[in-house]
Structure formats: structure tokens, C-alpha cells
Amino acid sequence: MKTTVLIGKLSEVSKELEAAKRPNLDDPENYFEDSIGYLTLQRQQLELMAALIVQTYRTKDYHAPTVQDLQSRVKDLNRIIQGHHDKLANLDALKSKI
């Protein structure tokens, strides 16, 4: 993917993230859904940052410390998002029993 395309996509995702509703613990009914959406945007932003670094880095080194840090954060976000999906499914299951 071209650098200009990556920059454009990163700009779009960053604007979406800035405008996105942050998860609010005071709104438990929507917390997990809001969190999933917000964290997904964060994950996309980090993935694009990592791709942009690799794209512009002379050796195209996926093992550069900065890229590895970003990829580690993406893995953390994936785990958190999956946990929120699981909790949301559990809540839906409990609601259906009521």
C-alpha cells in the first residue's frame, strides 16, 4: 500500500477516533458496545501506524522496536475487545433468561 494511502487512512481513522463516543462506566447498558467500537478504532489506528513505520523505514524491518511495541498494543487491544464481546454475549444470555 502506498504511503499516501496509509497516511490518508490513518488520518480518517484518527478523526473517527477523536469524534467517537468514549466508553462511559456510568452507562452500563452501552459500555461494552461503546468500548468495542472505541477500541476497534484504536486498534486500526495502531495497525496503520505500524504499517506506515514499516513502509517508510529503509529496511522494511517488522522487528523494529517501535513496530513491535505497536503490534504488542494491538494484541492487547484484540484481547480486550474479545473479552468485551464475551461479556456482552453473557449479558445478552442473562437478559434472555429473564
For 52, the domain range is 3-97
Cβ atoms within 10 A of the Cβ of 32, count?
Answer: 21
* pLDDT given for residue 14 in this prediction: 93
- Count of structural domains, the chain: 1
3-state helix, strand, coil in the chain (%, to 5): 80, 0, 20
Cβ atoms within 10 A of the Cβ of 73, count?
Answer: 16
pLDDT tops 80 at residue 74: yes
Which whole number is the average pLDDT over 27-50?
89
pLDDT tops 80 at residue 62: no
Tell me the C-alpha distance between 94 and 75, whole Å.
29
Tell me the C-alpha distance between 98 and 96, whole Å.
6
pLDDT tops 90 at residue 60: no
Which whole number is the average pLDDT over 24-52?
89
pLDDT tops 70 at residue 21: yes
- Cβ partners under 8 Å of residue 66, min gap 6: 53
When comparing pLDDT for 94 and 43, which is higher? 43
When comparing pLDDT for 59 and 48, which is higher? 48
Residues 98, 91, 86: CA angle, nearest 5 degrees: 150
